[in-house]
Structure 1
Amino acid sequence: MINDDVIPRRGFSPSEFETRVERAQRIMQRHGLDAIFVTSPPNVRYFTGFDSQFWESPTRPWFVVVPLSGRPVAVIPEIGAPEMALTWMEDIRTWPAPVPEDDGVSLLKATLEGLPRRFGRIGAELGREMSLRMPVIDLFRLRDSLGSEIVDGSPAIWAMRMVKTDAEIAHIHHICTIASAAYAALPGQISIGESEREAVRKLRIDIARRGADATPFMPAISGPGGVPQIVCGPHDRILETGDILFIDTGSTFDGYFCDFDRNYAIGGICAEAARVHEALWLATEAGIAAAVPGATTDAVWQAMSRIIEDAGAIGNNVGRLGHGLGLQLTEPPSHRPGDGTVIVENMVLTIEPGMEYAPGKMIVHEENIAITADGPRLLTRRAPREMPVIR
């Protein structure tokens, strides 16, 4: 039973991080890795709990080494040591960054070479939906001087992060609850004649007032009977009778994202848009129902795709019908043909059917769910079956 009134505590206990690292080490064993080292803010935060607005500065690289056994090691600029010491981390090694001629590379190398060598392979963020937050030339220097091989660690890292802990799911559910309430209140706050930009401004403020930490992602677009795309905007376009207003949000609580949209009819909705909206509402139901332990992401896609195709879709420029969610707005897996990911308990997924039903006219639905042993559980408040009307 989900309790929308329970606000999770910020941060996580040391035992939470111990659980994450123990699971990570079992996965590293299966992948034949002596260690992984991570550099990107979400992965650093996942293993340490460290967060900072200083991530906006690209000057200094940061490293966290997760060995095959034992506790992680932070290899970071001196400027970050006081805050890192407030986390569960004990082994914190620093250098007086920035030092462009050797910005932590030799210290990272010494840390990696000090670990027991069993497989001779170190995993790094080299692959799918990963990015390195260090100069590539420094990675080459490390690779060429290290006794072990540096390999793509992203399959192992995503195996670790795709399955959430209960505490992570509670964080995601909380931000979903906040955004759901703000979406429901929006029709009472805006009216015909206001702009897309003004609608987004009011929604952002409401989401912040309800307890969100940030809203890094809030595209919005409007158009007569549908929209041409769902990733850009808002613009200064004025909302007119007959428009559909699409707003998506990736807001955060303590680092964890929600990611779902809502559609609003301006003044009223035409019969064709209402028909498509109904088909997508039903496709969302089918996608949610299909997301059970043991099913594949392909099967979830197929459950939605059948309904969309029967409704007369002429396209869908999104390219998939949902994805993973957590410390990043979008994470693996993807609901698309050929992805093949087996859905397991404690994954958090978006269900996102969309269809273009006429040139330049598209409608998209999206909900967020957690996978339980008994099946999918909504984290968002389900969108109304009939599109809300703004007057």
Structure 2
Amino acid sequence: MTASPSAPQRGFPPAEYAARTTRAQGIMRDHAFDALVLTTPHNIRYFTGFDSQFWESPTRPWFVVVPAAGEPVAVIPEIGAPQMALTWLSDIRSWPAPRPADDGTSLLVGALGDLPRRFGRVGFELGREQSLRMPVTQFLDLRQRLPGLALDDGGACIWAIRMVKTEAEIDRIRHICGIASDAYDRVPDLVGAGMTDREAARALRIELARLGADATPFLPAVSGPGGVPQIVCGPGDRVLEPGDILFFDTGSTFDGYFCDFDRNYAIGAPGDAVRRAHEAMWRATEAGIAAAHPGATTDDLHRAMSAVIEQAGSIGNSVGRLGHGLGMQLTEPPSHMPGDGTVLEAGMVITIEPGMEYAPGRMIVHEENIVIRPGGAELLTRRAPRDLPVL
């Protein structure tokens, strides 16, 4: 089955990437960087549109340099040059990788050495929720070969660029949220007592693909009597029985963008305690959505949800936060937690994710995806039913 007629067209026009780059260059000036050097799949794709399953191979480093002015420069292995030439970039420099003695280092030194220096600083993916997809020894060698140029942490700058989404990005997240919402609505027809968690997850994964999801990299399926003990591992081979709660969480993608939201189901009639906990988390989600507007902080969202959770008699929450950013990655900054302090802006896409342990070893978590608009939150997911669904 192909994607629905309402699906966004795959890929972005050159104007989208040019606008992202221009906006990024303004933010780079604010952070005093002459350039950013990007090495990870998501950041490279964000600026170029280049995507490949070959990212599964860690053998070769890849680089994209975003200068303070002008188009980005790709410094990449020859094996990827033909596909990169189909993107909007015109300056593509390549070498016959892998070549451990000089795996693109000289080409990257040349690209950075040619740049005008206003601040004498280049940002790399060294900070919060970033990783450097190149050997550390190669990075240290770059520092030695670029005297007078500081290679610093560009993580905060990169997230300032990516946290606010364009309308085209939001369209893709909305679309995959719709696919996953439709798939969750089909769960009563797909899953029931006697199946294992693994079989239930397989049925949901197939439905997601049938409805048009490109991939489902994240799909915990966890069950337990009256609640679940954790929400990040599985599925296993536990058999669903009457009295169980089944928890699904899906991170599915469309055209490079994720949804991330969960749903809970009762196998047979649920007990009073789990019904009360489910109702409390539904109300906590409402509180989080209501608090999400431009100018509010992630701390404000945490406080709004926590007030409901505490009133419900929570005995713990091992998750550590009550939601996060969402986009090209399953989880992105910010984090809804005390001290994060991120000020919400229109265009940010975030999750609202209250959870509580209401009895030892029994958790209930709710999650929805929203985009911040000038007037408040726009729901991207189809809101979970207030009453716990029964399978």
Map 1:350-369 → 2, pairs under 5 A: 350-369=351-370
CA distance in 2, matches of 1:106, 1:305: 52
**One-letter code of the match for 1:143?**
R
**One-letter code of the match for 1:132?**
L
Aligned: 1:8 with 2:11: no
Matched residue, 2:201: 200
Unmatched 5+ residue regions in structure 1?
Answer: none
Deviation at 1:6, TM superposition (A): 2.3
Deviation at 1:226, TM superposition (A): 0.6
Matched residue, 2:374: 373
Matched residue, 2:126: 126
CA distance in 2, matches of 1:380, 1:123: 35
- TM-score, structure 2 normalization: 0.98
Deviation at 1:111, TM superposition (A): 0.3
Matched residue, 2:186: 185
Deviation at 1:39, TM superposition (A): 0.3
Give the secondary structure class of the aligned counterpart of 1:278: helix
Unmatched 5+ residue regions in structure 2?
Answer: none
Aligned: 1:267 with 2:268: yes
Give the secondary structure class of the aligned counterpart of 2:309: helix
Matched residue, 2:162: 161
**One-letter code of the match for 1:330?**
T
Matched residue, 1:85: 85
- Sequence identity (%): 68
Deviation at 1:145, TM superposition (A): 1.4
Matched residue, 1:46: 46
**One-letter code of the match for 1:142?**
L
CA distance in 1, matches of 2:275, 2:287: 18
**One-letter code of the match for 2:369?**
N
Matched residue, 1:36: 36
Q: CA RMSD in A?
A: 0.8
Map 1:222-233 → 2, pairs under 5 A: 222-233=223-234
**One-letter code of the match for 2:354?**
P
Matched residue, 1:309: 310
CA distance in 2, matches of 1:107, 1:255: 29
Matched residue, 2:257: 256
Matched residue, 1:281: 282
CA distance in 2, matches of 1:314, 1:81: 55
Matched residue, 2:146: 146
CA distance in 1, matches of 2:290, 2:240: 35
CA distance in 2, matches of 1:357, 1:109: 56
CA distance in 1, matches of 2:144, 2:71: 26
Deviation at 1:322, TM superposition (A): 0.1
Deviation at 1:246, TM superposition (A): 0.4
Aligned: 1:58 with 2:58: yes
CA distance in 1, matches of 2:261, 2:249: 6
CA distance in 1, matches of 2:90, 2:230: 47
Matched residue, 2:328: 327
Moved over 3 A (4+): none
Matched residue, 1:99: 99
Give the total of aligned pairs: 387
Deviation at 1:126, TM superposition (A): 0.2
CA distance in 1, matches of 2:88, 2:187: 40
CA distance in 2, matches of 1:95, 1:227: 51
**One-letter code of the match for 1:27?**
I
**One-letter code of the match for 1:332?**
P
CA distance in 2, matches of 1:189, 1:229: 23
**One-letter code of the match for 1:340?**
G
CA distance in 1, matches of 2:83, 2:277: 51
Deviation at 1:191, TM superposition (A): 1.3
**One-letter code of the match for 1:160?**
I
CA distance in 1, matches of 2:380, 2:371: 7
CA distance in 2, matches of 1:245, 1:157: 37
Matched residue, 1:336: 337
Deviation at 1:128, TM superposition (A): 0.1
Deviation at 1:5, TM superposition (A): 6.5
Matched residue, 1:215: 216
CA distance in 1, matches of 2:268, 2:308: 28
CA distance in 1, matches of 2:74, 2:161: 19
Give the secondary structure class of the aligned counterpart of 2:203: helix
Deviation at 1:268, TM superposition (A): 1.5
